[in-house]
Amino acid sequence: MELTCPQCQGRVFARISQHGLRHFYHQVRPPDCALANESPEHHLLKLELAMAARTAGWRAELEVSSQTGDWRADVLVYDERGQPFMALEAQLSPMTPDDAQLRTNRYARDGVAVCWIGLEQRPWQRAVPSLLVRPPKERGEAWIVWHGVQRFDWAPRTLKARANWRHVIRPLGEAVGWILGGRVQTHTAADGAVWWTAPAYAQMSVERARMEAEAESVERSITADRVYRLDEGRARAAERRLREAIEAAVAIEEERQAELRRLAGFFQYAGIDASVWEAFTQMVRSASGKAVFYGEQSPAYGNGLLVYAGPRWGAERRLAGVVCPAPISLAGWPRDLTILVPNQTWLSRIQAAARSPVKVAVLNPVTRRSAFLRVPR
């Protein structure tokens, strides 16, 4: 019995790749057959990623392009509202770190997160969220994630105890389920390396860093006392100031992390990557010229996030705008209440739904470009 390709109907034969994967190859490679012009590893990994997403309860489609043609996802995963929110990219060919960041930013402009999946370590993996996988050796075995998901080991939680980030080796389907379900998030280390970890481990690393900083401040104070022969009272004052400065910095970071956790549901609703939220907030402050505060998502304003502004911290606040309201809520929208959106995708939704003039501010945290317009014109 002859075997044929399901896409081009050309004759195919079975063999085993250099990575031990069973696959079919064309007797004559046609130039216009997508299945013939990609490696068996790439094709099988795409199928495995799509299956992992679907098994985890998500809708996932193969080879989906953006409306503008800026990107084409190997596997595109959709949220509960049918909106694309994450691309799973099987990246087996060479790519530079700059290319990886550029392609990741293209997805981010459309509110789509991305995870890159490869077989071997490459320099670009330090700069963008990624996983390294190992194909199965025997029929029926699972693909395994061996790099890219980490946990923070620190026990007991004392300064003398060793603390290290360690790789978590898990089946690919389980790791994909963690990522899509939000059980793990991207974490950027002090040296710029990016990996996936649970929020609890990220918080634990902050706690460890705080203890190390406090110990360093004490040592620095003691050294300063010896070098400059400070009297005991001045030494204690210097140590106190250092400790207070460190505690203030840690408190600010903890407050920032708490705010990101508070807004996690809004990020998922709006398709916004939490890593660009600070840049978006800076653009909102620059545009308003005032102190900016975020309220809650408001059903009265299309489930958008309320933005309040005031002349300074602690002063009276007023409602100044709404971030990403549902387009269906635009009927009767106040003419002077600004709608804030992070990218062209959201602008297009507002333009399609608006029937009376509304003020829109497009503040793109990826490109750092802003535009202010009336919709419809």
- Closest by alpha carbon to 153, among 194, 190, 208, 193? 208
pLDDT per residue as tens digits for the range 51-75:
999 999 999 999 999 988 899 999 9
pLDDT of residue 221: 76
Helix (H, G, I), strand (E, B) or coil at 251: helix
Do the Cβ atoms of 344 and 338 come closer than 8 Å?
A: no
On the question of pLDDT at 157 being above 90, the answer is: no
Q: Which of 42-51, 84-93, 99-108, 287-296 has the lowest mean pLDDT?
A: 287-296
Q: Which amino acid is at 84?
A: P
On the question of pLDDT at 209 being above 60, the answer is: yes
pLDDT of residue 328: 92
Q: Which of 23-27, 85-89, 134-138, 291-295 has the lowest mean pLDDT?
A: 23-27
> What is the band of 309 on the pLDDT scale with cuts at 50, 70, 90?
confident
Do the Cβ atoms of 144 and 169 come closer than 8 Å?
A: yes
On the question of pLDDT at 300 being above 80, the answer is: yes
> What is the band of 23 on the pLDDT scale with cuts at 50, 70, 90?
very low
pLDDT per residue as tens digits for the range 160-170:
889 999 999 99
Q: Which amino acid is at 216?
A: E
Task: Provide the percentage of residues in the chain whose pLDDT is more than 90.
Answer: 54
pLDDT of residue 33: 46
On the question of pLDDT at 25 being above 80, the answer is: no
Do the Cβ atoms of 314 and 329 come closer than 8 Å?
A: no
How large is the average pLDDT for residues 164-191?
92
pTM of the model: 0.53
> What is the band of 4 on the pLDDT scale with cuts at 50, 70, 90?
low
How large is the average pLDDT for residues 223-246?
74
How many CB atoms within 10 Å of residue 305?
22
Q: For residue 225, what is the enclosing H or E element?
A: helix 199-228
SS3 labels along 85-106:
EEEEEECCCCCCHHHHHHHHHH
pLDDT of residue 21: 46
